[in-house]
A and B are shown apart, each in its own frame.
Chain A
Amino acid sequence: MLSKSAARLFFLGGTAVFSLVFLALTIDTLRQIPKRSNAEDMTDAVKRGHDLWTFNNCMGCHTLLGEGAYYAPELTKVVERRGKPWIRIFLKDPEAMFPGRRKMINYGFNDGEIEDLLAFFEWVGRIDTNGFPPEPDLAEKIQATQVVTRQTTSDHKALPQPEMFRTICMSCHALGGKGGVVGPALDTVAAKYSRAQLDLWLKNPQEVKPGTSMPKLPMDDTVRRELVDFLLSYQGGNE
């Protein structure tokens, strides 16, 4: 049977051959990475964002490109998922967006640092990752098995959803059965509140109801008017 010297040869030879193949593949990979990761778009802001990311060990709670810890959301596509306005508000005060839930550290980032992190996330989101993170492939099948009780899209009276509503409010509120669960569903607010009340509420919830977990969200007057119009129009609200 196999002799000891043959076994040694197998070990040394195999190791040498496969190390060389690995080095060759590494060289080719290094050649391809700049293109696949759009290295030319790595501005100083992206690099500063990357340094903030490593300096604070965000990877100790989050995954990025699927690497890191399993305590907080995967962030590769966070800009696509949440949008920049949402992330800006969130990074200013993480607890505002998820009151009473799992805690992130409040780093007290200034506006410049937040823009750097956003630039970094945006750049990461465009890396060619061979399809990670994947699209949920069971979602459609599950929806297909459920009876549709409410036809939200054909509600002809409702105004189109403002951008702000989709990106910010929906993360805490549900509408038509979709959205977050931090705050109450907003389907029936039109019946509960007047225009003035809603306007006041959105301007500063803390003033109307001190200690509420709805945060004061930065928005200008036109956006606020749009939101109130939309809420009142939804589900045939009484103008």
Chain B
Amino acid sequence: MKYRSQKIAWLFFATSLVLLVLQVLYGFIMGFAHMGYDVFHEWIPFNTARAVHTNLLVVWLLSGFMGSAYWVIPEEAGRELVSPKLALVQWASFVLVGVVAVIGFHFNWWEGRKFLEIPRPLDYLVVVNVLLFIGLVGATAWQGRRFTTTGITLLLGLVSAALLYLPGMYHFDNQVHDSYFRWWVVHLWVEGVWELIMGALLSYLLIKLTGVDREIIEKWLYVIVGITFLSGILGTGHHYYYIGAPEYWLMIGGIFSALEPLAFLGMAIFAMAMMRKGGRRHPNRCALHWTIGCAVLSFVGAGFLGMAHTLPQVNLWTHGTLVTAMHGHLAFWGAYAMIVFAMIMYTMPEMTGRNCYTGWIPEWAFLTSNIGMLAMTGAFAVAGITQVYLERKVGMDFLDVQDAVQVHFLGLVLAAALFALGIALFVWNFISFGLPADDLKDEPDQTERQPLKEAVT
């Protein structure tokens, strides 16, 4: 840790993990409901469980991004955070809004639009909160000595994510408009500006962990986020095929969204190449595993499984089935959950001064959670493909099809148990790191002092 104020990140990471655990619990409620054991129906009906599950996901990822920004920005800018006190206020209000929203979902207080269920009055609080956050990291970057590509990309991602929240706050009477602008938030977040955040954190971690020259890493960062926007903006069209928007979206959305996997492929190749090129063997192997794992699984979940149903000819049949859930899980896990985990794993030893990154616990946390998530994806895939054939292709009744795929939800719940074990180990690992210490490491980063010679182009 270079600056004392960086340790505010710990609060955000701890918050992330608490919310993740809750998210998983609500996931189990839904898994069991799909299996036919809808035992909580009276108190937590499926739509409540789902809103809680997905909103907690978004909130804990944002919390992880904010924590990461509070860690990275001071270091990239070369100064303390402008006001650690206000950052604490920002954290507290963020948690408050999240908790109130989730409690509200249990009392029919929501907006009934997938992923944007947070009711309007709370939306305004979210805006104030995010403005405060952007103000803090923005001012820190502004007053700092230097502007790095990594820092700027991260800031750009955070600011655009905040701006793109606004179209989701408008009320439309027409369901088609409603849906059209809902995607400005949902799609342009995960397949646009969040990739900027992910790319920036990825290059921060690669600079730290592999020791490859910053100039090279940051050049490729530009290329990758360039491909992201080039394909991702018009790729929004893959959500406009069948909602009442004009027919040309079939063509435009199909072509550009088919290019989107290139950005993820780019990240995977980039991470692998830098790892190989880097001469330095950073002792924190576990952080490197999460970093490389993130780059690879984001390609599998978002790139490959996204591609599997993005062409209009395929999407006509799979649209709005469990196939989408299959893709949603591995994409969110690979791209965004894993980058947050990588940041946590990298920063915790720096923050606490304890080296709890060796031994069986962090290793098994990595293995079981990833194997569990891949198995969950498989269970969703089998259920989803069966659903597409029986319901959409053959025309069987919805509920009869759901009975036919019930058994795959037993598979899902078993896989989820393995996944949850991995999460439990990770949380245990996090706890054993303890609280942040106050010792600062003043020496500048090795990489910045002496760029490696073999790292050419």
Show the binding face of A for B, using Cβ within 8 Å: 1-4, 7-8, 10-11, 14-15, 18-19, 21-22, 25-26, 28-30, 32-34, 36-37, 39, 42, 47, 50, 53-61, 63-74, 98, 101-103, 105, 124, 127-139, 142, 180-181
**In the bound complex, do residue A29 and residue B180 qualify as a contact, i.e. CB atoms below 8 Å apart?**
yes
A187 → chain B, closest Cβ, in Å?
19
The contact of B320 among A19, A42, A66, by CB within 8 Å, is A66
**B320, A33: Cβ atoms closer than 8 Å:** no
B170 to chain A, nearest CB (A): 13
> Can you list 14 contacts pairing A with B, beta carbon distance less than 8 Å?
A2-B219, A15-B229, A22-B233, A30-B180, A33-B244, A57-B110, A57-B111, A63-B320, A70-B322, A74-B320, A102-B399, A128-B244, A129-B242, A139-B393
Please tell me if B443 contacts chain A, counting CB pairs below 8 Å: no
Which one, B36, B47, B219, B387, contacts A61 given CB within 8 A?
A: B47
Contact B325 A70 (CB under 8 A): yes
- Cα–Cα distance between A70 and B46 once the two chains are bound (Å): 10
Which B-chain residue is minimally distant from A182 (CB atoms)?
B399
Q: Are B111 and A54 in contact (CB under 8 A)?
A: yes
Residues of A within 8 Å of B322, CB to CB, are 70
Q: For the complex, is B176 an interface residue (Cβ under 8 Å from A)? A: yes
Chain A residues with Cβ below 8 Å from B402 are: 102
Residues from chain A with Cβ under 8 Å of B149 in the complex: 4, 8
Provide the residues of chain A in CB contact with B176, threshold 8 Å.
33, 36-37, 65, 127
Per-residue 0/1 for B224-268: is the Cβ within 8 Å of any A Cβ (1 yes, 0 no)?
011001100110100011111111111010000000000000000
Instruction: Indicate if the CB atoms of B234 and A29 lie closer than 8 Å.
Output: no
- List the B side residues contacting A65 at CB < 8 Å: 175-176, 179, 242-244, 320
Known contacts being A33-B244, A61-B46, A66-B243, is A101 close to B399, with CB within 8 Å?
yes
B: residues with CB less than 8 A from A are 30, 33-34, 36, 38, 41, 45-48, 50-51, 108, 110-114, 117, 149, 173-177, 179-180, 182, 215, 218-220, 222-223, 225-226, 229-230, 233-234, 236, 240-250, 252, 316-317, 319-322, 324-325, 387, 389, 392-395, 397-400, 402, 457
User: Min CB distance, A24 to chain B, in Å?
Assistant: 11
* Contact assessment for A57 and B112 in the assembled complex, using a CB-CB cutoff below 8 Å: yes
The one of A7, A37, A71, A124 that contacts B223, using a Cβ cutoff of 8 Å: A7
CB contacts (< 8 Å) of A129 on chain B: these are: 242-244
B393 touches A59 (CB 8 A): no
Given contact pairs A22-B236, A37-B174, A61-B47, A136 touches B320 in the complex (Cβ within 8 A): no
Tell me whether A60 and B48 are in contact (CB under 8 A).
yes
Complex-state Cα separation, A21 to B69, whole angstroms: 31
**Is A69 a contact partner of B50 (Cβ separation < 8 A)?**
yes
- Shortest distance between the CB of A5 and any CB in chain B (Å): 9
Contact A138 B33 (CB under 8 A): no
Q: How far apart are the CA atoms of A58 and B47 in the complex, in Å?
A: 7
Tell me if B114 and A29 are in contact (CB < 8 A): no
Given contacts A8-B222, A132-B241, contact A102 B38 (CB under 8 A): yes
Q: In the complex, which residues of chain B have a beta carbon less than 8 angstroms from the beta carbon of A124?
A: 175
Q: Does A10 contact B229, Cβ atoms closer than 8 Å? A: no
The one of B113, B229, B230, B246 in contact with A29, judged by C-beta atoms closer than 8 angstroms, is: B246
Residues from chain B with Cβ under 8 Å of A15 in the complex: 226, 229-230, 233
In the complex the two chains form, is B395's CB within 8 Å of A132's CB? no
| Alpha-carbon distance A56/B30, docked complex (angstroms) | 18
Decide: B244 and A127 in contact? CB cutoff 8 A: yes
Q: Give the docked Cα–Cα distance between A137 and B50 (Å).
A: 32
Chain A CB within 10 Å — which of B45, B249, B387 has the most? B45
Considering the complex, give the chain B residue whose CB is closest to the CB of A180.
Answer: B397
In the complex, what residues of B have CB within 8 A of residue A56's CB? Answer: 108, 112
CA A71 – CA B112 in complex, angstroms? 15
CA distance A138 to B391 in the complex (A): 10
Known: A60-B114, A61-B47, A137-B393. 14 other contacts (CB 8 A): A4-B218, A7-B219, A21-B233, A32-B246, A56-B112, A65-B179, A66-B319, A67-B179, A67-B182, A70-B322, A71-B34, A131-B242, A132-B319, A138-B395
The CA-CA distance from A22 to B252 in the complex, in Å, is: 10
Q: Provided the pairs A60-B51, A71-B33, A127-B176 are in contact, do residues A36 and B394 lie with their beta carbons within 8 angstroms?
A: no
User: Given A29-B246, A55-B112, are A136 and B218 also a contact pair (CB < 8 Å)?
Assistant: no
**B325: nearest chain-A partner, CB-CB:** A70
Bound-state CA distance A98–B38 (Å) is 15
Q: How many angstroms between the C-alpha atoms of A29 and B180 in the bound complex?
A: 9
A2 to B30, CA, bound (A): 49
- Asked whether, in the complex, the Cβ of B394 is within 8 Å of the Cβ of A130, the reply is no
CA of A57 to CA of B45, assembled, Å: 11
Q: Which residues of chain B are near A32, meaning CB under 8 Å?
A: 245-246
Q: Which residues of B contact A73 (CB under 8 A)?
A: 398-399
The CA-CA distance from A58 to B180 in the complex, in Å, is 18
Per a CB cutoff under 8 Å, which of A33, A59, A70, A180 touches B174?
A33
The distance from the CB of B325 to the nearest CB of chain A, in whole angstroms, is 6
Rounded to whole Å, the gap between the CB of A69 and the closest CB of chain B is 5
Taking a contact as CB atoms under 8 Å apart, the answer to whether A37 and B175 are in contact is yes
Is B230 touching A18 in the complex (CB atoms < 8 A)? Answer: yes
Note all chain B residues with C-beta closer than 8 A to A180. 397
Closest B residue to A36 using CB positions: B244
B113 touches A54 (CB 8 A): yes
Chain A residues with Cβ below 8 Å from B394 are 136, 138-139, 142
Cβ A50 vs Cβ B173 within 8 A? yes
Q: Are A57 and B117 in contact (CB under 8 A)?
A: yes
Q: Which residues of A contact B30 (CB under 8 A)?
A: 71
Cα–Cα, bound, A32→B243 (Å): 13
- Choose among B46, B112, B234 the residue that contacts A53 (Cβ–Cβ < 8 A): B112
